[in-house]
């Protein structure tokens, strides 16, 4: 979506959006429109018993004496101070409203509404960011029938998938400040889109090496990208990761991304993502119902790639490593079997009792490799790791597991700021025992209970003393409930969360 910024003036054509604050008070431009239209705005608000609260909109069509198609009055009042995320949701809701009425030339008049002096430059930038996030659609496979009637297709698919408005002219008081505040969010928005695209992409298109090729595109933004082949991984002894891809005709890969935006002497921070481009379960095959969702089993890797994009695009002043472990989990004659024992890069051996518990296997080697090679300040991994986290937390929170209270608190706070919430879950020796094994150092599944925790305990066995956090995003990355800022199956969860974490604590 194209966004332009300019000073306040009376909008002349298309659709105009104005704000209404406490007690339906309007700003100066909105009052001007009201006066020129014989009080259309105040009369409409009265007639509709409109109450200016966040999320309330009122549409006035063809207002008298004006050339405008419509004026939308958007409520912003709230008893409490609106948070930046509230502003994002406001912008998202507004975009939804504009799309519903198929508005094309849209002018947003974002002036302080009456006594409501809460419309800061940051707030405006966040509102635009929210609208942009909402505008996302994944429609690249809605093709035309060869030789078919193009008009017919547009009519059938046009409404539901409308990307309108595709541009917004934003009017505000401090244009330079807003432009500056928005420029960082622009990169963040594209990072979220990168993650959503990757997760939405079907698995016949996005197999491990194709994913790696997409990650390579970050080179253009100044990110250093290396792709480790199966051969290289074999040399490193990554048999936990390699075992997962054995049943697939597609090669596995490990991608290492580096963004060096901080001082040379600064230790990097590291993000590691599970990138199982499709998870059939392998020989421990999953039931058919819902298996299609497993194209999203690379949500962790999608987030890490989107985050690296965002950080590079906004030139974050931090040294950041992104590592993604890519494999496809398929059943085949060459696939690993339940009962197999593999040796991980760390030297620890694993008895594979269920080939569907594969995420922890690819992460085991990726975490070990990251900690050994980069000695980071911290490691955070993201993974659509367990169905059990959905049972525990639903789709509201990602599960957070960590060996470090400070890191945990920082992630939790970033979650509250961005609305990408996390909920801390326990770790402990008693849970760890549940993956002890008679014939190897550990088995890859625990018992019937505490499935998300035993999965986290497994990961922790591949982390030494480095501060570490694991986010189980099986409930938040895909199959997402529609929200004000996302209508797509993939949410891009984690990009905004971790971008906030970096911005709040790790940029100097």
Active-site residue numbers?
Answer: 286, 360
Least distance CB 236 / ligand BES (angstroms): 23
3-state SS assignment for residue 2: strand
Residue 388 engages ligand BES in binding (rule: CB under 6 A): yes
Q: Which of 420, 407, 400, 397 is nearest to 376 (CA)?
A: 407
Q: How far is the CB of 362 from Zn ion (least distance, A)?
A: 9
Residue 356 sits in the site that holds Zn ion (CB under 5 A): yes
Q: How far is the CB of 475 from ligand BES (least distance, A)?
A: 7
Shortest reach from residue 351's CB to ligand BES, in Å: 13
93/331 with CB nearer ligand BES: 331
Pairing of the two strands 224-228 and 253-260: antiparallel
Could you give the strand order of the β-sheet that contains 349-351, starting from the edge strand earlier in sequence?
341-343, 349-351, 442-443
**Interacting positions 274-303 with Zn ion (CB under 5 A):** 276, 279, 297
Find out whether 208 and 252 touch, Cβ atoms under 8 Å. Answer: yes
**Which one of 36-44, 167-175, 195-203, 386-394 is the stretch in contact with ligand BES (CB under 6 A)?**
386-394
Is residue 328 a contact point for Zn ion (CB under 5 A)? no
Nearer to Zn ion, 302 or 359 (CB): 359
Task: Tell me how far CA of residue 280 lies from CA of 276, 286, 324, 447, 463, in angstroms.
Answer: 10, 6, 19, 21, 27
Given 54, 175, 354, 404, the residue binding ligand BES (CB under 6 A): 354
Q: Assign 106 to helix, strand or coil.
A: strand
Smaller CB separation from ligand BES, 26 or 435: 435
Q: Which of 358, 365, 432, 484 binds ligand BES (CB under 6 A)?
A: 358
DSSP secondary structure, 374-435, as one string: H--S-EEEEE---THHHHHHTTT-EEEEES-HHHHHHHHHHHHHHS--EEE----HHHHHTT
Q: At closest approach, how far in Å is the CB of 451 from ligand BES?
A: 6
Size of the site for Zn ion (CB under 5 A): 6
Rounded-to-integer distance, Cα 419 and Cα 397, Å: 9
Shortest separation between residue 356's beta carbon and Zn ion, angstroms: 4
CA pair distance 158, 142, nearest whole angstrom: 11
Binding test (CB under 6 A) with ligand BES, winner from 247, 451, 467, 492? 451
User: What is d(CA 285, CA 355) in angstroms, rounded to the nearest whole number?
Assistant: 8
Q: Which does 27 bind (CB under 5 to 8 A by kind): Zn ion, ligand BES, none?
A: none
Told to check if 338 binds ligand BES by CB under 6 A, we report no
Which listed range, 66-74, 173-181, 380-388, 392-400, lies at the site for ligand BES (CB under 6 A)?
Answer: 380-388
- Looking only at residues 456 through 485 of this chain, which bind ligand BES when binding is defined by CB under 6 A? 474
For 125, the enclosing helix (H) or strand (E) is helix 121-134
- Position closest to ligand BES via CB: 387
Return all residues near 61 (Cβ < 8 A) that are at least 6 apart: 69, 70
Tokens for 350? Answer: 């694993």
Our CB check for ligand BES shows the closer of 488 and 499 to be 488
Residues 6+ apart with CB under 8 A from 133: 88, 92, 189, 192, 485, 486
- Residue 386 contact partner, candidates Zn ion, ligand BES, none, CB within 5 to 8 A by sort of partner: ligand BES
- Tokens representing 469 are 């956090």
CB of residue 432 vs ligand BES: minimum separation in angstroms? 16
Q: Which of residues 284-313 bind ligand BES (CB under 6 A)?
A: 297
With contacts defined by CB under 5 A, name the span among 78-86, 94-102, 272-280, 318-326 that binds Zn ion: 272-280
- Binding footprint of Zn ion on the chain (CB under 5 A): 276, 279, 297, 356, 358-359
- Binding footprint of ligand BES on the chain (CB under 6 A): 279, 297, 354, 356-359, 384-388, 445, 451, 474
């Amino acid at each position: 979506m194209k966004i332009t910024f300019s000073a306040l003036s009376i909008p002349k054509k298309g659709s105009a959006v104005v704000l209404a604050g406490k007690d339906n008070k309007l700003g100066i431009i909105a009052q001007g429109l009201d006066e020129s239209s014989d009080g259309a705005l105040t009369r409409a608000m009265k007639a509709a018993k409109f109450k200016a609260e966040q999320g309330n909109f009122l549409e006035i069509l063809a207002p008298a004496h004006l050339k405008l198609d419509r004026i939308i009055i958007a409520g912003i009042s709230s008893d409490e101070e609106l948070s930046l995320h509230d502003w994002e949701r406001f912008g998202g809701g507004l975009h939804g409203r504009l799309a519903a009425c198929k508005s094309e030339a849209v002018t947003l008049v974002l002036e302080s509404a009456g006594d409501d002096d809460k419309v800061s430059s940051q707030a405006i930038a966040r509102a635009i960011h929210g609208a942009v996030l909402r505008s996302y659609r994944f429609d690249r496979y809605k093709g035309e029938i060869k030789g078919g009637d193009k008009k017919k297709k547009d009519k059938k698919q046009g409404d539901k998938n409308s990307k309108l408005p595709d541009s917004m002219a934003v009017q505000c008081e401090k244009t330079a400040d807003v432009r500056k505040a928005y420029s960082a969010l622009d990169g963040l928005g594209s990072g979220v889109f990168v993650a959503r695209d990757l997760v939405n992409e079907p698995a016949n298109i996005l197999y491990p090496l194709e994913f790696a090729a997409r990650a390579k595109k970050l080179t253009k933004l100044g990110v250093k990208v290396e792709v480790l082949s199966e051969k290289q991984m074999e040399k490193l002894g990554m048999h936990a990761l390699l075992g997962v891809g054995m049943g697939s005709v597609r090669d596995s890969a490990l991608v290492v991304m580096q963004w060096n935006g901080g001082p040379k002497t600064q230790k990097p921070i590291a993000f590691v993502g599970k990138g199982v481009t499709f998870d059939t379960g392998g020989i421990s095959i999953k039931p058919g119902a819902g298996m299609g969702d497993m194209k999203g089993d690379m949500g962790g890797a999608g987030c890490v790639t989107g985050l690296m994009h965002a950080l590079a695009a906004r030139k974050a002043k931090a040294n950041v490593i992104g590592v993604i472990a890519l494999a496809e989990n398929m059943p085949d004659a060459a696939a690993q079997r339940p009962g197999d024992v593999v040796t991980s890069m760390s030297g620890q051996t694993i008895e594979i009792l269920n080939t569907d518990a594969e995420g922890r296997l690819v992460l085991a080697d990726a975490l070990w490799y990251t900690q050994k090679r980069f000695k980071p300040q911290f490691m955070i991994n993201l993974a659509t790791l367990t169905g059990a986290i959905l049972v525990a937390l639903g789709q509201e929170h990602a599960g957070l597991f960590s060996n470090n209270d400070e890191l945990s608190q920082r992630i939790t706070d970033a979650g509250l700021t961005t609305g990408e919430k996390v909920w801390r879950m326990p770790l402990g020796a008693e849970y760890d025992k549940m993956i002890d094994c008679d014939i190897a150092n550990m088995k890859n599944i625990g018992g019937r209970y505490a499935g998300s925790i035993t999965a986290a305990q497994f990961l922790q066995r591949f982390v030494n003393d480095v501060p570490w956090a694991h986010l189980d995003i099986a409930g938040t990355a895909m199959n997402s409930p529609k929200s004000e800022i996302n209508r797509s199956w993939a949410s891009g969860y984690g990009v905004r969360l971790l971008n906030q974490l970096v911005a709040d604590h790790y940029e100097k």
